[in-house]
Structure 1
Amino acid sequence: MLDKKGVSYKLAVTLFAMLMTFSQSTSAATKVEKSKDDLNQIHERIEKLKKELDSNTEAHADATDALKESEKAISETNRKLYELSLQQKQNRANLQSLEQQKSGLESTIQQQKQLLGAQLYEQYLHGQQSYIQVVLQQQDPGAIARQLQYFAYVSRARAKLIDATQQNLGKVAKLNDQTAVALKEVTDLKANQEKERRELQSQKNERGTLLKKLSAKITAQRGEINKLKRDEKSLSDLVERLARAAAATPPPKRTPRKTDKTDTSKPQVPVGRNDTLPSNAFDGSNFAALKGKLNLPVRGEITNRFGAAREDTGISWKGLFIKSSEGSDVKSVASGRIVFADWLRGFGNLIIVDHGNGYMSLYGNNQALLKKVGDTVSGGDTVAEVGNSGGNDANGVYFELRYQSKPFDPLSWSSIR
Structure 2
Amino acid sequence: MSHAQEADEASINQQLQTIKTRLSELKTALNSARGEEARLLQELERQDQKINEQGQLIRTSQQKIDLSRHQIEGLTRQITDLKQSIDQQKQQMAGLLRLHIYISHDRFIKKILLNRDSRSVDITQHQIKFLQHRLYSLIEDIAEHITQLSDIKIQTQNKQQQLKQQQQVLQTAQDQLINQKQQRAQVLSHLRQTINAYQNESETLNQDRQRLNQLLAEISQLLDDLPEDLGANAHFAQLKGRLDKPLSGDIIRRFGALRAGHSRWDGIVVAGESGQAVKATAYGRVAFADWLRGYGLLVVIDHGDDFMSLYGHNQSVLVEVGDWVQSGQEIATAGQSGNLSESGVYFEIRQQADPQNPEPWLKSP
- TM-score normalised by L of structure 1: 0.60
User: Aligned runs of 1:214-225 on 2, under 5 Å?
Assistant: 214-221=191-198
Partners of 2:322 and 2:114 in 1: CA distance: 82
Matched, 1:120 2:97: yes
Partners of 1:143 and 1:374 in 2: CA distance: 83
The number of aligned residues is 300
1:121 Cα deviation after fit: 1.8
Partners of 1:368 and 1:106 in 2: CA distance: 46
User: Aligned runs of 1:63-142 on 2, under 5 Å?
Assistant: 63-128=40-105, 137=115, 140=118
Asked if the contact 1:88/1:183 (under 8 Å) is kept, the reply is no
Partners of 1:295 and 1:318 in 2: CA distance: 19
Gaps of 5+ in 2: 1-32, 201-231
- TM-score normalised by L of structure 2: 0.67
1:162 Cα deviation after fit: 3.7
Partners of 1:406 and 1:187 in 2: CA distance: 51
Partners of 2:327 and 2:360 in 1: CA distance: 19
Partners of 1:172 and 1:406 in 2: CA distance: 65
Q: 1:111 to 1:76 in 2, by over 3 A?
A: same
Partners of 1:353 and 1:174 in 2: CA distance: 49
Asked if the contact 2:246/2:280 (under 8 Å) is kept, the reply is yes
1:117 Cα deviation after fit: 1.0
Number of the residue aligned with 2:345: 397
Q: 1:367 to 1:105 in 2, by over 3 A?
A: same
Partners of 2:122 and 2:280 in 1: CA distance: 76
Number of the residue aligned with 2:278: 330
Q: 1:197 to 1:63 in 2, by over 3 A?
A: farther
1:315 Cα deviation after fit: 5.4
Number of the residue aligned with 1:296: 245
Partners of 1:135 and 1:126 in 2: CA distance: 9
1:129 Cα deviation after fit: 5.5
Q: 1:155 to 1:287 in 2, by over 3 A?
A: farther
Amino acid paired to 1:287: F
SS in 2 for 1:333: coil
Partners of 2:135 and 2:87 in 1: CA distance: 14
Amino acid paired to 2:339: G
Match of 2:334 among 358, 378, 386: 386
Asked if the contact 2:41/2:191 (under 8 Å) is kept, the reply is no
1:403 Cα deviation after fit: 3.8
Partners of 1:382 and 1:348 in 2: CA distance: 18
Q: 1:153 to 1:370 in 2, by over 3 A?
A: farther
1:171 Cα deviation after fit: 2.6
Q: 1:162 to 1:81 in 2, by over 3 A?
A: farther
Q: 1:122 to 1:164 in 2, by over 3 A?
A: closer
Q: What RMSD over aligned residues (CA atoms) do the two structures have, in Å? A: 3.7
Amino acid paired to 2:333: E
Q: 1:138 to 1:88 in 2, by over 3 A?
A: farther
Gaps of 5+ in 1: 1-55, 224-282
Amino acid paired to 1:295: D
Partners of 1:151 and 1:317 in 2: CA distance: 90
Give the share of equivalent positions with the same residue, in percent: 28
Match of 2:255 among 302, 305, 313: 305
SS in 2 for 1:368: strand
Partners of 1:134 and 1:338 in 2: CA distance: 87
SS in 2 for 1:126: helix
Number of the residue aligned with 2:268: 320
Q: 1:414 to 1:207 in 2, by over 3 A?
A: closer
Could you list the per-position Cα deviations for residues 230-288 of structure 1 after superposition, in whole angstroms to 9, with x for gaps in the alignment?
xxxxxxxxxxxxxxxxxxxxxxxxxxxxxxxxxxxxxxxxxxxxxxxxxxxxx954432
